[in-house]
Amino acid sequence: MKLFSKETYIKRRARLKELVGSGIIFLPGNNEASLNYADNHYRFRQDSTFLYYFGLNEAGLNAAIDCDSREEILFGNEFTVEDIIWIGQQEGLKSKSEKVGISDLRPSNSVIDFIAAAKGRKVHYLPPYRADILNTLSDLLDQTREHISKGSSVELIDAVIQQRSYKSSEELEQMTEAVNISGLMHINAMRSAATGKFEYETVADIYQTAKAHNSYLAYPAIFSINGQILHNHYHGNQMTEGRMVLNDSGAENAMCYSGDITRTFPVNGKFSTKQKEIYDIVLDMETSSIESLKPRLLYKDVHLASNKLMISKLKDLGLLKGDVEEMVNLGVGGLFMPHGLGHMIGMDVHDMENLGENRVGYREGLERSTQLGLKSLRLGKELEKDFVITVEPGLYFIPDLIEKWKAEKKFEDFINYEKLKEYYNFGGVRIEDDVLITENGSEILGNPIPKTTKEVETTMAS
């Protein structure tokens, strides 16, 4: 079990008490989830906020922090001999809890009496995203599930976002490790892919690379010759001559910090002229966006600048026509990039989004757009020092979407629908890195991962 220092967790909890102020903070840990019968479980993953404050990545735990009495309590049971028969000798829960600065360890079922004794006091909890946690909160607080779903603590949500948004040096060390493992996953995928192979054969190399570095995937791999499908988890296609592969995959390291990297490459190892034209537009979008990053810059503006660059380049190719600024303002770019430029990343690949996407990525006075593409921008607010974000522009040719807009005569004064037919079998390109916002600019985390067409071709040839 890997942990930060005891002092790290003590300081995090002390700061949380200050931010919330009064009442009881209740943080339920995750439980085992059964795959197809009770004793056959999915891979266990602890709730990220529980991990942030208590560090213990194991099932069956709950925690409480009393902001008034300053008590910090962990609820959980020690392993029995019967448990040890099946899973072997384990470090005791008391020993583990002491390593994260908790001396008050109580049996699991004592949480019922603890919450009952708090009747009349404010109990702060975060929005539950698992049904079993929703049911637990409903039972403990004697409230309907509907009430629990709507009754999470805004004070606690804002306090957690306030802390977890800013990555410490020790967190950055873990994130850099996750990015470096992710980079190896991508390099090995480039070297593995070949004409005639099936996608799943290369996906196996991605998973193997993660596991060989004591990691898991931070999210199911997106790996497909159909890169125009934004979250394509199907891996049964044969990689054929003339196609490109979009690989969006990242590692989650032993301390549950995530990498989120995307690269796109030609199956045969050489970009065609058409592929290079589109690829270089996306590369230009990504590199120019990263170069612009700095504190106090509205990330929504970076998205729009990237969109403007894309529209201008597509106009040069004859796919668009008319005034570039007008097309940006009207949302014409959503046809080609129907997602946002990026999001926060940390322990969660979309960091803290279980707390409410708008609370994490927006602020009062900054509303989300309703335009295709811009409405999916998860992070729109001003950037700040020690944020870590993804920068992931893409350019896609989605025949169904193009045909829909064409039938609706949407933006027909700007879009060359006839010429777009030449790209119906193209797929899509996305390029993504994880970036730290520094005092005066930004820094891409981790070792360089092949990104230019020359670097990709050289890697695939090796």
Residue 432's pLDDT is: 99
CA-wise closest residue to 443 among 451, 455, 452, 434: 434
Residue pointed to by tokens 């992710």: 182
Residue 143's pLDDT is: 97
* CA distances from residue 439 to 300, 346, 442, 449 in whole angstroms, order as listed: 20, 19, 8, 24
CA angle 214, 219, 222 (to 5 degrees): 115
430 membership: H or E segment, kind and range: strand 428-430
Average pLDDT, the chain: 97
* CA distances from residue 455 to 176, 269, 344, 451 in whole angstroms, order as listed: 21, 11, 27, 6
**How far is Cα 262 from Cα 183, in angstroms, rounded to an integer?**
9
Residue 270, both tokens: 């050489």
**How far is Cα 278 from Cα 418, in angstroms, rounded to an integer?**
18
Provide the residue ranges of all domains of the chain, joining segments of one domain with +: 6-164, 169-461
175 and 215 Cβ atoms separated by less than 8 Å: no
Reported as half-sphere exposure (CB side, CA atoms, 13 A), residue 41 has a value of 9
**How far is Cα 350 from Cα 358, in angstroms, rounded to an integer?**
12
**How far is Cα 58 from Cα 45, in angstroms, rounded to an integer?**
8
List 443's β-bridge partners, or say none: 436
Helix or strand or coil: residue 344?
strand
CATH architecture of 169-461: Alpha-Beta Complex (3.90)
* CA distances from residue 196 to 181, 199, 223, 268, 460 in whole angstroms, order as listed: 27, 9, 16, 10, 15
**pLDDT, tens digit, 9 for 90 and up, residues 204-259:** 999 999 999 999 999 999 999 999 999 999 999 999 999 999 999 999 999 999 99
The phi and psi torsions of 441 (rounded to 5 degrees) equal: -170, -130
- Which residues, given as ranges, of the chain have pLDDT below 70? none
What is the CA 55 to chain-centroid distance, rounded? Answer: 20
**How far is Cα 269 from Cα 219, in angstroms, rounded to an integer?**
26
Residue pointed to by tokens 């109580």: 106
Residue 342's pLDDT is: 98
CA-wise closest residue to 305 among 320, 295, 317, 290: 290
Residue pointed to by tokens 């891979």: 43
Indicate the DSSP class of residue 383: -
CA angle 160, 162, 168 (to 5 degrees): 95
**pLDDT, tens digit, 9 for 90 and up, residues 19-62:** 999 999 999 999 999 999 999 999 999 999 999 999 999 999 99
**How far is Cα 444 from Cα 447, in angstroms, rounded to an integer?**
9
Residue pointed to by tokens 């439980």: 31
Residue 1's pLDDT is: 74
Fold that domain 6-164 belongs to in CATH? Creatine Amidinohydrolase; Chain A, domain 1 (3.40.350)
121 and 23 Cβ atoms separated by less than 8 Å: yes
Strand pairing category for 442-444 and 433-437: antiparallel
What is the CA 277 to chain-centroid distance, rounded? Answer: 29
Residue 133's pLDDT is: 98
